[in-house]
């Protein structure tokens, strides 16, 4: 079976292993290969079948090595029901890939062709930018900024009923699709998908396959729309081991206690399975835990377990080394790649001194009632300003993006207030992606604007591009005035934009001859965006050279005076060098000064 040209293309290899229950070494293997091709950043699946295995199949992890030239990935698989195991892989280069799998003392090999991608929204995995370390980047080299929506709770994609209990937060496929399509319409590229121990059975090892298959369906649907997801392992609000659809904040009452040592095999198996199932999708990276410092648990206890076990395990089993994030203040004390910050007050915004990426993947404080996460708040039109300022400040303060109301109830139709917040987020993306430089080259520097009448935060590639967000209070009107701006000498295009509409209010070209320039700040209400771009000069022209009039001389007595003229446009601003050279003649000549326009020969 093969799907070609899809966002999450699947190429299947089916292998059957016939196993005596106790004599796995004596298994016979039959292999059925399906050759074909896949699009770049699609998902390859190898399916292995073993009959007669008597142990817990969720404890078996086949593996395969995928190679192309000097690229090589060792990928683990997972049990997927009906005596089948799957190995998923995402190729990050075009061309022919070779693979070799091993399972139950048996092995096999094959190959497939990876073709160029066909969908412009598919950029490959996310990773930390190797040059600009406080930012994120895709496999294809484009920056990754999180234009996020809500989080998807594990009960949302869980079963309607289980164990005689009813799921009160179940969402239908149609409800998911409607929201995902709206996210795509307004150019959102991020959601959070929580696991939180819900799909695990009470033996702590086995999985509810219908439950986890629907999680995979969610991830695939997001991938088809260019939407990335933070897949979350742990949560303060993880499943109560005595309930299927309810949480407990007491780690001792959860399926296993991730704040304390114990159940190490179960915890490792849980992490190993999530990595195997989801890392092969291009649109996934990790959230280790959500707000793990809340009472009655201990943030420092979780830090100890995370640094010594959970983070090393994820990195051991993840062949792509996808970024790992952790929320709230304890992220600074762990070896994660990303800080997920949840408050929108000034003190919680990214600091210029931070060297790791940060993303506001849940909004808690910062609204009119300090509750931006709630469904009722985002549905209130008076809250629009508070969301918009979060989106823009996370950009200008050097962050990697923001979510919206994470508790948004998508079982109900979205009202105009919600849509307007999503439109504001889209406007940010439209404006940011129109900048003439990569946003990963831009660093926060709030000293650029002086004497502003309100908060002014700037992200800049100095001398090339400056984006400043002017933020007043809600409904506050700022009168037209002047501000001072620190810029290198040169000519610049200054554009003022209304962030709620994306419309240009004013545009002018300025010349800067000293270190500061005075600019006119137009009147505005609540907020305003200023973009300053260095104007490109005229194209560099070749120098114009005239060697002087032709002359006839008689050797050996005569000499010739050479008087040349050379003009240049001064671009780039450097030294123009001159050199005389004899092209032809009956005898060699000597230049008095070969490197002067006026010389003798």
CA distances to 163, 200, 263, 302 from 266, in Å: 22, 10, 5, 17
How high is the pLDDT of residue 142? 98
Instruction: Report the share of the chain in percent with pLDDT over 90.
Output: 77
What is the per-residue pLDDT across 358-388, written as a single tens digit (0 to 9) for each? 999 988 877 666 689 999 999 999 999 999 9
The pTM assigned to this predicted structure is 0.86
pLDDT at 591 over 70: no
Same topology, domains 10-115 and 439-534? Answer is yes
pLDDT tops 50 at residue 46: yes
Averaged confidence pLDDT in the chain? 89
Average confidence (pLDDT) over 238-252? 97
pLDDT band at 348 (very low <50, low <70, confident <90, very high): confident
Within 10 angstroms of residue 572's Cβ, the number of other Cβ atoms is 7
Residue 264 has pLDDT above 70, yes or no: yes
Where does 439-534 sit in CATH, by number? 2.60.40.1180
Spatial separation of the C-alpha atoms in residues 371 and 365, rounded to whole Å: 5
Listed in sequence order, the DSSP H helices in 371-455 are 375-378, 384-396, 416-432
Question: What residue segments make up the domains of the chain, in order of their start?
Answer: 10-115, 139-432, 439-534, 540-601
**Calpha distance 298→320 (Å, rounded):** 31
Residue 208 has pLDDT above 90, yes or no: yes
Which pLDDT score is estimated for 23? 30
Give the model confidence (pLDDT) of 439-476 as tens digits: 999 999 999 999 999 999 999 999 999 999 999 999 99
565 — pLDDT class (breaks 50, 70, 90): low
Contacts of 533 (CB under 8 A, 6+ apart): 436, 464, 465, 466, 492, 493, 495
**What SS3 class is residue 235?**
strand
Homologous superfamily of 10-115? Immunoglobulins (2.60.40.10)
Mean pLDDT (whole number) for 273-282: 99
pLDDT > 70 fraction of the chain, expressed in percent and rounded: 82
Query: CATH for 139-432?
Result: 3.20.20.80
pLDDT of residue 583: 66
Could you please report the per-residue DSSP string of 96-117?
EEEEEEEETTEEEEEEEEEEPP
Tens-digit pLDDT profile for residues 180-193: 999 999 999 999 99
Report CA 591 to chain centroid distance, whole Å: 62
- CA pair distance 90, 579, nearest whole angstrom: 57
Angle at 592 between CA 591 and CA 594, to 5 degrees: 55
Where is pLDDT greater, at 443 or 34? Answer: 443
């Amino acid at each position: 079976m093969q799907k070609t040209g899809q966002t999450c293309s699947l190429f299947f290899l089916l292998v059957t292993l016939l196993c005596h229950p106790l004599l796995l070494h004596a298994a016979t293997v039959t292999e059925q290969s399906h050759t074909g091709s896949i699009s770049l950043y699609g998902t390859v699946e190898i399916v292995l079948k073993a009959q007669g295995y008597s142990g817990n199949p969720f404890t078996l992890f086949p593996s395969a090595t995928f190679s192309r030239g000097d690229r090589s990935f060792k990928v683990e698989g997972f049990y997927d029901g009906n005596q089948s195991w799957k190995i998923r892989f995402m190729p990050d280069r075009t061309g022919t890939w070779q693979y070799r799998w091993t399972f139950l003392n048996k092995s096999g090999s094959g190959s497939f062709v990876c073709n160029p991608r066909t969908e412009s929204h598919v950029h490959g995995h996310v990773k930390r930018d190797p040059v600009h370390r406080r930012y994120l980047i895709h496999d294809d080299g484009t920056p990754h900024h999180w234009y996020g929506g809500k989080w998807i709770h594990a009960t949302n994609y869980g079963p309607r009923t289980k164990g005689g209990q009813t799921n009160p937060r179940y969402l239908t496929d149609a409800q998911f699709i409607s929201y995902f399509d709206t996210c795509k319409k307004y150019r959102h590229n991020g959601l959070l998908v929580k696991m939180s121990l819900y799909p695990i059975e009470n033996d702590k090892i086995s999985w509810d396959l219908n439950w986890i298959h629907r999680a995979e369906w969610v991830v695939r649907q997001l991938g088809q729309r260019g939407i990335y997801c933070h897949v979350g392992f742990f949560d303060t609000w993880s499943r109560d081991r005595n309930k299927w659809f309810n949480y407990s904040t007491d780690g001792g009452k959860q399926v296993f206690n991730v704040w304390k040592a114990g159940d190490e095999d179960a915890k490792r198996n849980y992490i190993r399975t999530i990595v195997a199932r989801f890392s092969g999708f291009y649109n996934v990276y990790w959230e280790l835990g959500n707000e793990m410092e809340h009472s009655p648990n201990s943030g420092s206890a979780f830090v100890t377990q995370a640094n010594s076990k959970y983070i090393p395990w994820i990195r051991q089993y993840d062949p792509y080394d996808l970024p790992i994030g952790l929320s709230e203040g304890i992220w600074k004390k762990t070896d994660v790649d990303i800080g997920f910050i949840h408050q929108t007050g000034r003190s919680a915004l990214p600091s210029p001194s931070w060297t790791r990426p940060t993303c506001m993947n849940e909004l808690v404080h910062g609204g009119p009632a300090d509750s931006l996460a709630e469904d009722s708040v985002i549905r209130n039109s008076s809250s629009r300003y508070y969301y918009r300022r979060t989106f823009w400040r996370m950009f200008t303060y050097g962050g990697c993006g923001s979510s919206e109301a994470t508790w948004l109830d998508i079982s109900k139709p979205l009202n105009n207030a919600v849509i307007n917040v999503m439109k504001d987020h889209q406007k940010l993306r439209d404006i940011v992606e129109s900048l003439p430089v990569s946003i990963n080259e831009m660093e926060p520097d709030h000293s650029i604007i002086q004497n502003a009448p309100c908060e002014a935060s700037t992200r800049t590639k100095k001398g090339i591009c400056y984006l400043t967000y002017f933020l007043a209070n809600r409904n506050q009107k700022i009168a037209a005035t002047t501000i001072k701006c620190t810029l290198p000498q040169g000519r610049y295009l200054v554009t003022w934009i209304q962030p709620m509409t994306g419309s240009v209010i004013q545009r002018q070209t300025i010349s800067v001859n000293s270190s500061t320039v005075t600019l006119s700040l137009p009147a505005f209400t609540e907020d305003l965006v200023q973009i300053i771009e260095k104007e490109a000069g005229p194209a560099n022209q070749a120098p114009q050279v005239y060697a002087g009039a032709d002359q006839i001389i008689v050797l050996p007595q005569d000499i010739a005076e050479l008087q040349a003229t050379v003009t240049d446009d001064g671009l780039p601003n450097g030294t123009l060098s001159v050199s005389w050279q004899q092209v032809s003649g009956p005898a060699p000549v000597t230049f008095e000064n070969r490197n002067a326009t006026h010389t003798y020969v």
